[in-house]
Amino acid sequence: MTLAPPDHPLRLLHLEDSELDHELTLAHLRRGGLDVQALRVDCEAEYLRALEQPWDLIVSDYNLPGFSGLVALDLLKAYGRDIPFVLVSGEIGEDTAVEAMRNGASDYLLKNNLARLVPALLHAIEASETRRARERADLELGESKQRLHELAQHLQTSVEMERAAIAREIHDDVGGSLTALKFDLAWIARHSDTPDVLARVNNALETVTLAIEASQRIMHNLRPAILEQGLVAALQWMAARFEKRTGVVCILRTPQARHPLMQHLPAGVPLVAYRTAQEALTNVTKHAQASRVEIDLALAGRVLSLEVSDNGCGLGQDDLAKARSFGIRGLHERARTVSGWVDLSSGPGGTTLILSVPLPESDEAEAAQAAEADDEPITGPDDEDPTHWGEP
């Protein structure tokens, strides 16, 4: 491959004690079609001063009085400058050449083979530009990924806030009006003795009752009020409802609900765990063809984990890459909002999804734990297991 010379004069820093060799090098470069602006330096002080300026390339003699090409290379690295560096020597041993390349030299040449000089320099410049472009692209990609994560997390949080606000409005406005309506209809029913009116009012009462139930259901889906009774209670309710609705056996194991750490879960964690279990169970219904699901909520050290495993058909990498599937992707982002993470494993025996959330040190939880320890043991006399598995 022929490399094109740069479209501007090549800024060359030449570390060379012999003026004659310097001239010879320049002659080779010009003969090779390169327009060069060169500065020759031959000692460490001058070299360091020169490093302040912008250079396209450094060519260095290997042996200099009181200085050496390898030291110059180390200084360049220490200085944090990314400039292609080519070592030239009257005689360079293989070991030295290998060491120089390992230390970041772009290339090395023998002085008696300066015919290779121009292609070697052009190649060094191009390799350095390619590397820099790749580093820039990696950096931009990393920043863009980070922004995407932040956006996804922000969306998760704002969706939850929006849901909570809608649930509140349904509760206050719709729920309040329906209850008032039901109250008035009941009053009319009590004070009317016309059979037609009574029949109509009772119909209306039924409709209002259904509307109240529907609004409660919608409110619950928007914002699970059951979470106010704690994560354990909410999961128990979810598991029971899932089993009843789908016929799939659902076993739930949880730590003791009154465990101090469970009572002082950081804000956001119960909802993240709840939504994770909800999505995992929805996936079991939609995809797994399972007959049994186990949900394990556990505390190990200061890490809360929620494991949902089914005995279904399992999933593959292709399933996770589906363009229009956002459930599991959303769970990863949700977990990040509370500094947690999600692991997914699958095989012929089924699928397991685990949410892990490290719980921060909290004075409140520590104090509660200490008080609890003074008060009564977390495990009762009949229950030696500190995690006291709850009812399925």
Ligand X SMILES: Nc1ncnc2c1ncn2[C@@H]1O[C@H](COP(=O)(O)OP(=O)(O)OP(=O)(O)O)[C@@H](O)[C@H]1O
Q: Catalog residues that contact ligand X under the rule CB under 6 A.
A: 283-284, 286-288, 310, 312-315, 319-320, 322, 325-329, 351
CB nearer to Mg ion: pick between 152 and 232: 152
CB nearer to ligand X: pick between 115 and 313: 313
Site for Mg ion in 163-182 (CB under 5 A): none
- Check binding of 268 to Mg ion (CB under 5 A): no
- 84, HSE (Cβ side, Cα atoms, 13 Å): 22
3-state secondary structure of 20: helix
The item of ligand X, Mg ion, none sharing an interface with residue 351, based on CB under 5 to 8 Å by kind, is: ligand X
CB nearer to ligand X: pick between 69 and 312: 312
Max Cα distance, the chain (Å):
123
Instruction: Check if the beta carbon of residue 126 is closer than 8 Å to that of residue 56.
Output: no
Given the structure tokens 């704002």, which residue do they identify?
158
Instruction: Check if the beta carbon of residue 276 is closer than 8 Å to that of residue 252.
Output: no
- In whole angstroms, the minimum distance from the beta carbon of 294 to ligand X comes to 12
- Check binding of 89 to Mg ion (CB under 5 A): no
CB nearer to ligand X: pick between 68 and 309: 309
CB nearer to ligand X: pick between 208 and 353: 353
Size of the site for Mg ion (CB under 5 A): 2
CB nearer to Mg ion: pick between 253 and 287: 287
Query: What's the CA gap between 240 and 247, in Å, rounded?
Result: 10
- Check binding of 283 to Mg ion (CB under 5 A): yes
| 364-368 contacts at long range (C-beta below 8 A, 24 or more positions apart) | 364/264, 365/260, 365/261, 365/263, 365/264, 368/260, 368/263, 368/264
Query: What's the CA gap between 293 and 296, in Å, rounded?
Result: 10
The item of Mg ion, ligand X, none sharing an interface with residue 287, based on CB under 5 to 8 Å by kind, is: ligand X
Residue nearest to Mg ion (CB): 327
- In whole angstroms, the minimum distance from the beta carbon of 310 to Mg ion comes to 13
The item of Mg ion, ligand X, none sharing an interface with residue 288, based on CB under 5 to 8 Å by kind, is: ligand X
Q: What is the DSSP string of 218-280?
A: HHHHHS-GGGGG-HHHHHHHHHHHHHHHH--EEEEE---TT-HHHHTPPTTHHHHHHHHHHHH
Residue of 5, 327, 390, 392 interacting with Mg ion (CB under 5 A) = 327
